[in-house]
C-alpha cells in the first residue's frame, strides 16, 4: 500500500473509531433515558389506578400502552428541556 493511501486509511480509521465511541455513548444515554421514562410511566399508571379507586371509578379500565411511542418520547424530552 502506498504511503499516501496508508495515511488516508489511517485517518479514516481514526474517524470511524471516534464516531463509534460517540454513537455507543449516545446509545447508553438513550437507554438510561428510556428506563427513566418507563419508571415514570409505571408511576403514572399506578397513580391513575389509585386515583380511580379513590373516586370509585375502579371499574373503568383504560388500556395504557406498555411501550412509549416515538411521539410520547419526544413530548417527554421536550418537557424536560
The pLDDT tens digits for 32-51 are 999 999 999 999 999 999 99
Q: How far is CA 77 from CA 39, 50, 73, in A?
A: 15, 26, 6
pTM of whole model > 0.85? no
Helices (H), the chain: 3-54, 70-80
How confident is residue 27, by pLDDT bands cut at 50, 70 and 90?
Answer: very high
Q: How far apart are CA 73 and CA 81, in angstroms?
A: 13
Residues in the chain: 81
Q: pLDDT over 90 for what percent of the chain?
A: 64
Q: What is the rounded radius of gyration, in angstroms, for the C-alpha atoms of the chain?
A: 23
Amino acid at each position: 500500500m502506498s504511503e499516501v493511501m496508508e495515511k488516508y486509511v489511517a485517518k479514516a480509521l481514526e474517524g470511524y473509531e471516534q464516531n463509534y465511541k460517540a454513537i455507543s455513548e449516545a446509545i447508553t444515554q438513550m437507554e438510561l433515558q428510556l428506563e427513566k421514562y418507563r419508571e415514570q410511566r409505571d408511576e403514572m399508571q399506578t397513580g391513575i389506578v389509585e386515583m380511580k379507586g379513590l373516586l370509585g371509578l375502579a371499574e373503568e379500565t383504560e388500556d395504557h400502552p406498555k411501550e412509549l411511542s416515538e411521539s410520547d418520547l419526544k413530548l417527554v424530552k421536550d418537557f424536560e428541556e
